[in-house]
């Protein structure tokens, strides 16, 4: 059993670990494989939303915690250039987000829309807002109460990948589901 | 704020009976203009050399003048009250000569100067400015504007400031502070502390007031900030994000974008009664509004055609029509203060450009190209544009380019910056 990685590391690990799965899922997609967080096949499935976890002898993510969401569900989906439509490879992640949020109804989230830097600042703010709302609409359509969700666009102001080029740009075109309250303590 | 200074042009030394026609002039409309050789010897008196140095740098950066090397000067210690020995200035091919004298009396700095046409052997300008010694740079900018106007026939733009976003830290970890500096990069000061993101500050075209956007995880706000009084106020609460503010030419309104359920539209608010009117209602992105100088029209950015393009509509939202039809993505339109052009950012292939076009979309000219050029702002005389140029490594610096595209150079502000906005001429 490894120690719980910090959140940033966890994200990076998840990106690496799922690259292959992504590629398979994207076979019909004309673009190269995108690093995409996906629900892990080995996701521990907590049985009841109210059941407290057993004494944390293990250091795996506590069900219902932010780590649980980030590691086992996936907190980010990716978009094509100048697009805000939910891609096929994003749907399983958002389905899993919906299911997880249904399981933990006290949790509230903020959907943060992000853009690559290959656009100008104000246009990208508007584009990021579209992305955030596309995710919000998807979650609401899959049963999450709209009152639990807020949205914001960061435009190109908060890139997760500091590099430049196609790969960094793809990483930076995303919508991040940030937990703002109601999650289990870590 | 130290803005309310009294900078007075006391009297003209010129005998204005019949100003003989100067033989020299600078044609600002020609792209192939040869910069005018001008001699600017150090002014006499306290801070005289500093003042001459700032004037020389201003004129050189305009691209229209070529200040000569002072080490080539033969006549020294000129007295502005005495006619220079013109043959000694002809001999080094100076076409214009600017000399001046600084005196300090009663806590005031008095700077008298004269501009001469060397070949015609006549005076073109004689003025003096008086202010407190700490305003010596502003006096230098005022003199630069007087010389520029006398020799080009157009208003100068040197006694101005630029509000911008000062950047520090690398991509993904940038700290952004609202900042203001003189147009030549001097006297930078910071108006926010970097604890939240600020972007897109814009000057009112007739006062020392700015509007800008602040972005926090809880939402966005548009602020009005009076630089003279320090008064700062929010435009108010909106259902979604509010961004892309810009003043109307008379300063009575602000146009901006409001996002609701993912859709961004252009609104305009009357600052007297705080009533907002929605001007666009298209499901596309509508943003980056900019008024024409007569206040009757607004150019804005929309992707209603499927990609971002420029549109012009009436200031009431009537008759929106597309004006950009070139190959590429057009954003950040900004109407020039003269009304002659609309500047924009254009994206083609893997590059970004700053360009200008006529308000009907004709006569498009691309002025710059790089990895990422963005967000032009006009000098108040409509001759120079400032913009941000970001390198592939994420470092963003401020640059200027003249409207002919000939004179491209970084702004002498040593640190990172983006989103510049040029002030009107100071009063």
Number of domains in chain A: 1
Residue B300 lies in a domain: yes
More confidently predicted of A44 and B377: B377
Residue B100 lies in a domain: yes
Percent of chain B with pLDDT over 90: 87
Residue A162 lies in a domain: yes
User: How far, in Å, CA of B90 to CA of B24, rounded?
Assistant: 13
Average pLDDT over residues B46-51: 96
**At residue A42, does pLDDT exceed 80?**
no
CATH code of the domain containing A78:
3.30.1330.60
A134 touches chain B (CB under 8 A): yes
Chain B nearest-CA residue for A84:
B262
Average pLDDT over residues B401-424: 96
User: How far, in Å, CA of A49 to CA of A102, rounded?
Assistant: 9
**At residue A6, does pLDDT exceed 80?**
no
A13 — pLDDT class (breaks 50, 70, 90) = very low
More confidently predicted of B17 and B299: B299
Residue B3 lies in a domain: no
Sign of the CA dihedral with A176 first, then B242, B389, and B309 last: positive
Examine the domain organization and report whether B297 and B230 are in the same domain: yes
Examine the domain organization and report whether B167 and B216 are in the same domain: yes
Q: What is the pLDDT of residue A27?
A: 35
| Residues B97, B39 contacting (CB under 8 angstroms) | yes
Most B CBs within 10 A among A118, A125, A130, A172, hence the mutation to make, goes to A125
Task: Report angle CA B195, B199, B203 to the nearest 5 degrees.
Answer: 120
Question: DSSP code of B72?
Answer: G
User: How far, in Å, CA of B63 to CA of B403, rounded?
Assistant: 11
Task: Tell me the chain A residues in contact with residue B172 when contact means C-beta distances shorter than 8 Å.
Answer: 158-162
Percent of chain A with pLDDT over 70: 68
Q: What is the pLDDT of residue B207?
A: 83
CATH code of the domain containing B106:
3.40.50.10070
Most A CBs within 10 A among B169, B243, B259, B262, hence the mutation to make, goes to B262
* Rg (alpha carbons) of chain A, rounded to whole number: 16
Helix A121-141 to helix A91-103 angle (10° resolution) is 60
B28 — pLDDT class (breaks 50, 70, 90) = low
Ordered DSSP codes for B290-357: EE-TTSSEEEEEE-TTSS-EEEEEETTS-S-EE---SSSEEEEEEE-TTSS-EEEEEEETTEEEEEEE
Task: Tell me the chain A residues in contact with residue B171 when contact means C-beta distances shorter than 8 Å.
Answer: 117, 159, 162-164
CA of A182: how far to CAs of A50, A71, A74, A179, B230, in Å? 13, 17, 17, 8, 40
B345 touches chain A (CB under 8 A): yes
Would the CB atoms of A129 and B287 count as touching at under 8 Å? no
Give the distance from residue A63's alpha carbon to the nearest chain B alpha carbon, in angstroms.
26
**Which among A125, A157, A160 has the least Cβ separation from residue B241?**
A125
Most B CBs within 10 A among A129, A174, A179, hence the mutation to make, goes to A129
Q: What is the pLDDT of residue A7?
A: 39
Task: Tell me the chain B residues in contact with residue A122 when contact means C-beta distances shorter than 8 Å.
Answer: 200, 243-244, 257, 287-288, 301, 331-332
Residue A124 lies in a domain: yes
Question: DSSP code of A71?
Answer: I
A3 — pLDDT class (breaks 50, 70, 90) = very low
Give the distance from residue B301's alpha carbon to the nearest chain A alpha carbon, in angstroms.
8
Average pLDDT over residues A18-31: 37
Residue B104 lies in a domain: yes
* Cβ burial, residue B118 (10 Å; 0-12/13-18/19+): buried
Q: What is the pLDDT of residue B412?
A: 94
Taking one residue from A and the other from B, the number of pairs with CB-CB distance under 8 angstroms is 108
User: How far, in Å, CA of B246 to CA of B202, rounded?
Assistant: 6
User: How far, in Å, CA of B176 to CA of A148, rounded?
Assistant: 30
**At residue A73, does pLDDT exceed 70?**
yes
Would the CB atoms of B241 and A119 count as touching at under 8 Å? no
Residue A112 lies in a domain: yes
Backbone phi, then psi, for B51, in 5-degree steps?
-65, -45
Residue B1 lies in a domain: no
**At residue A59, does pLDDT exceed 90?**
no
**At residue B92, does pLDDT exceed 80?**
yes
More confidently predicted of B25 and B94: B94
**At residue B9, does pLDDT exceed 80?**
no
Q: What is the pTM of this model?
A: 0.87
- Chain centroid to CA B83: how far? 35
Residue A155 lies in a domain: yes
**Which among B244, B371, B394 has the least Cβ separation from residue A122?**
B244
Helix, strand or coil for residue B147? helix
Residue A42 lies in a domain: no
More confidently predicted of B306 and B33: B306
Sign of the CA dihedral with A140 first, then A145, A148, and A150 last: positive
B368 — pLDDT class (breaks 50, 70, 90) = very high
Examine the domain organization and report whether B95 and B187 are in the same domain: no
Examine the domain organization and report whether B198 and B132 are in the same domain: no
User: How far, in Å, CA of B294 to CA of B359, rounded?
Assistant: 13
Average pLDDT over residues B78-86: 91
Question: DSSP code of A43?
Answer: -
Examine the domain organization and report whether B227 and B324 are in the same domain: yes
A8 touches chain B (CB under 8 A): no
Task: Report angle CA B111, B112, B113 to the nearest 5 degrees.
Answer: 120
**Stretch among A147-156, B3-12, B84-93, B340-349 having the lowest mean pLDDT:** B3-12
Helix B48-62 to helix B136-152 angle (10° resolution) is 40
**At residue B30, does pLDDT exceed 80?**
no
Average pLDDT, chain B: 92
- At B263-302, the pLDDT tens digits run 999 999 999 999 999 999 999 999 999 999 999 999 999 9
ipTM computed for the complex: 0.91
A82 touches chain B (CB under 8 A): yes
**Which among A122, A132, A151 has the least Cβ separation from residue B287?**
A122
Range of the domain at A98: 60-181
Helix, strand or coil for residue A150? strand
Task: Report angle CA A152, A160, B304 to the nearest 5 degrees.
Answer: 50
Helix, strand or coil for residue B222? strand
**At residue B331, does pLDDT exceed 60?**
yes
Residue B2 lies in a domain: no
Range of the domain at B350: 161-422
Domain boundary pick from B152, B177, B202? B152
Number of domains in chain B: 2
Question: DSSP code of A84?
Answer: -
Residue B290 lies in a domain: yes
CA of B211: how far to CAs of B214, B229, B376, in Å? 10, 14, 16
- At B198-232, the pLDDT tens digits run 999 999 988 889 999 999 999 999 999 999 999 99
Q: What is the pLDDT of residue A48?
A: 39
CATH code of the domain containing B377:
2.120.10.30
- Chain centroid to CA B4: how far? 20
Backbone phi, then psi, for B355, in 5-degree steps?
-145, 175
A159 touches chain B (CB under 8 A): yes
**Count of CB atoms within 10 A of residue B34's CB?**
10
Residue A86 lies in a domain: yes
B239 — pLDDT class (breaks 50, 70, 90) = confident
Q: What is the pLDDT of residue B187?
A: 96
Residue B427 lies in a domain: no
Instruction: List the 239-258 stretch of B: residues with Cβ below 8 A of A.
Output: 240-241, 243-244, 257
Structure tokens at A1: 């059993």
- At B157-182, the pLDDT tens digits run 999 999 999 999 988 899 999 999 99
**At residue A92, does pLDDT exceed 60?**
yes
**At residue B16, does pLDDT exceed 50?**
no
| Residues B36, B151 contacting (CB under 8 angstroms) | yes
**Stretch among A4-18, B246-260, B344-358 having the lowest mean pLDDT:** A4-18
**At residue B31, does pLDDT exceed 90?**
no
Q: What is the pLDDT of residue B29?
A: 64
Domain boundary pick from B152, B182, B203? B152
Q: What is the pLDDT of residue B79?
A: 87
Task: Tell me the chain B residues in contact with residue A152 when contact means C-beta distances shorter than 8 Å.
Answer: 217-220, 241
């Amino acid at each position: 059993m490894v120690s719980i990685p910090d959140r940033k590391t966890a994200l990076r690990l998840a990106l690496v670990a799922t690259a292959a799965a992504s590629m398979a899922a994207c076979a019909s997609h004309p673009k190269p494989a995108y690093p995409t967080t996906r629900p892990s096949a080995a996701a521990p499935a907590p049985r009841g939303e109210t059941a407290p976890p057993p004494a944390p002898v293990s250091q795996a993510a506590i069900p219902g915690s932010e780590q649980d969401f980030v590691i086992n569900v996936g907190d980010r989906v990716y978009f094509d250039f100048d697009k805000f439509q939910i891609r096929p490879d994003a749907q399983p992640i958002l389905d899993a987000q919906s299911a997880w949020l249904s399981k933990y109804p006290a949790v509230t989230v903020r959907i943060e829309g992000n853009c690559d830097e290959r656009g100008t600042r104000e246009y990208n703010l508007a584009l990021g807002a579209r992305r955030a709302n596309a995710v919000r609409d998807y979650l609401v359509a899959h049963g999450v109460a709209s009152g639990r969700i807020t949205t914001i666009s960061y435009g190109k102001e908060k890139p997760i990948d500091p590099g430049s080029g196609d790969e960094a740009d793809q990483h930076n075109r995303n919508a991040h589901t940030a937990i703002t309250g109601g999650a289990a303590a870590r | 704020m130290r803005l309310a200074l009294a900078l007075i042009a006391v009297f003209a030394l010129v005998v204005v009976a019949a100003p003989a026609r100067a033989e020299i002039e600078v044609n600002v409309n020609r792209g192939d203009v040869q910069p005018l050789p001008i001699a600017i010897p150090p002014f006499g008196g306290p801070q005289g050399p500093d003042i001459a140095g700032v004037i020389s740098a201003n004129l050189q950066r305009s691209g229209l003048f070529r200040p000569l090397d002072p080490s080539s000067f033969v006549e020294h210690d000129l007295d502005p009250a005495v006619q220079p020995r013109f043959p000694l200035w002809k001999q080094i091919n100076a076409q214009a000569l600017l000399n001046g004298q600084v005196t300090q009396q009663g806590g005031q700095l008095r700077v008298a100067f004269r501009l001469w046409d060397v070949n015609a052997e006549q005076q073109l300008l004689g003025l003096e400015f008086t202010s407190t010694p700490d305003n010596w740079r502003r006096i230098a900018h005022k003199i630069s504007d007087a010389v520029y106007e006398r020799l080009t026939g157009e208003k100068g733009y040197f006694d101005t400031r630029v509000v911008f976003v000062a950047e520090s830290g690398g991509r993904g970890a940038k700290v952004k502070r609202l900042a203001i500096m003189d147009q030549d990069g001097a006297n930078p000061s910071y108006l926010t502390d970097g604890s939240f993101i600020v972007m897109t500050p814009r000057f009112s075209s007739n006062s020392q007031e700015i509007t800008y956007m602040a972005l926090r995880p809880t939402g966005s706000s548009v602020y009005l900030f009076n630089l003279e009084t320090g008064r700062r106020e929010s435009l108010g609460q909106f259902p979604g994000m509010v961004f892309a503010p810009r003043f109307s030419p008379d300063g009575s309104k602000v146009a901006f974008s409001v996002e609701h359920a993912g859709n961004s539209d252009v609104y305009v608010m009357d600052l007297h009664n705080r009533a907002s009117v929605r001007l666009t209602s298209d499901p596309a992105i509508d943003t980056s509004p900019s008024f024409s100088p007569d206040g009757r029209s607004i150019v804005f950015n929309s992707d209603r055609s499927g990609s971002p393009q420029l549109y012009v509509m009436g200031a009431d939202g009537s008759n929106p029509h597309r004006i950009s039809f070139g190959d590429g993505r057009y954003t950040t339109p900004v109407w020039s203060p003269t009304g002659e052009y609309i500047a924009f950012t254009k994206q083609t292939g893997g590059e970004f450009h700053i360009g200008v076009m006529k308000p009907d979309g004709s006569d498009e000219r691309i002025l710059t190209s790089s990895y990422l050029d963005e967000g032009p702002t006009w000098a108040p005389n409509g001759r120079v544009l400032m913009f941000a140029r970001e390198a592939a490594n994420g470092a963003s610096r401020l640059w200027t380019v003249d409207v002919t595209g000939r004179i491209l150079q970084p702004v002498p502000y040593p640190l990172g910056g983006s989103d510049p906005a040029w002030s009107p001429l100071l009063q």
